[in-house]
Amino acid sequence: MIGILGGTFDPIHFGHLRPALEIQECLDLDELRFIPCGLPPHRRRPEADMSHRLAMVEQAVALHPGFSVDRRELERAGPSYSVDTLESLRRELGSRVPLCLLLGMDAFAGLSSWHRWQELFGLAHIVVAHRPGSDEPRALEAWAASRRAADPAELRAAPAGRILCMPVTQLDISATTIRGLVARGRSPRFLLPEPVLEYIHRHGLYQEHAAATGSPC
């Protein structure tokens, strides 16, 4: 069973990595692929060039066995739609391997706005990471009920089509905050892996970034 975690990773940080680790262990995934987004269809263009974002993800995932990097969205022209990525994976892996698309609760709540979103369930399971004690969005509750998996073992019984909600440790870390700290000459150490921080400094990333983070410092 293979997990898929997409994102701009601008930069990748422990808020991505810790939940991914918990999901990998709970589902006993054979592999968890981090897929950096080339051109995000639902948000502005990333600050860092795709080659830098890819390199930072490679630095981060090298720290843990079972994590890997998949470059396919960076190598594909046009918007990075998840349905296209999953179709590509299916052509590569075949129809029988269970695939699990990892989403946060906010992304899951907006799923119906995604490109060809209803086709996702024929291609993969969806694993929704949420804070312990939180509920799934009311707008999707009735629709999701028929696909809801009660146990992780259900995901191994079929290649796609189920929704599993998983409580995970969600760290209050954002890439926006990290970029803002770097831009103001402050340290984001302990928010992201040390090799990623060293890469940011070595290549002078985010120095021109001027986004407000709400911090008085």
3 close to 102: Cβ distance less than 8 angstroms: yes
- Strand pairing class (2-7; 99-104): parallel
- With 0-12 / 13-18 / 19 or more C-beta atoms within 10 angstroms meaning exposed / middle / buried, residue 83 is middle
2 alpha-carbon distance from chain centroid: 14
Torsional sign, CA 28, 67, 195, 53: negative
Average pLDDT, the chain: 89
Q: Which two tokens stand for residue 82?
A: 């998840």
Share of the chain above pLDDT 70, in %: 92
Share of the chain above pLDDT 90, in %: 70
Domain 2-172: CATH class, spelled out: alpha beta
4 close to 160: Cβ distance less than 8 angstroms: no
What are the pLDDT digits (tens) for 106-132?
Answer: 888 888 889 988 899 999 999 999 877
Please determine, for residue 17, whether its predicted confidence score (pLDDT) is greater than 90: yes
- With 0-12 / 13-18 / 19 or more C-beta atoms within 10 angstroms meaning exposed / middle / buried, residue 143 is exposed
pTM over 0.85: yes
Residue 133 has what pLDDT? 63
CB atoms < 10 A from the CB of 98, how many? Answer: 22
The 3-state secondary structure of 137-183, one letter per residue: CHHHHHHHHCCECCCCHHHHCCCCCCEEEEECCCCCCCHHHHHHHHH
- With 0-12 / 13-18 / 19 or more C-beta atoms within 10 angstroms meaning exposed / middle / buried, residue 14 is middle
Name the residue ranges covered by the structural domains of the chain.
Answer: 2-172
Q: Under the phi-then-psi rule, with left for phi > 0, alpha for psi from -120 to 50, and beta for the rest, what region is 209?
A: beta
Residue 123 has what pLDDT? 97
71 close to 38: Cβ distance less than 8 angstroms: no
What are the pLDDT digits (tens) for 78-89?
Answer: 888 999 999 999
16 close to 7: Cβ distance less than 8 angstroms: yes
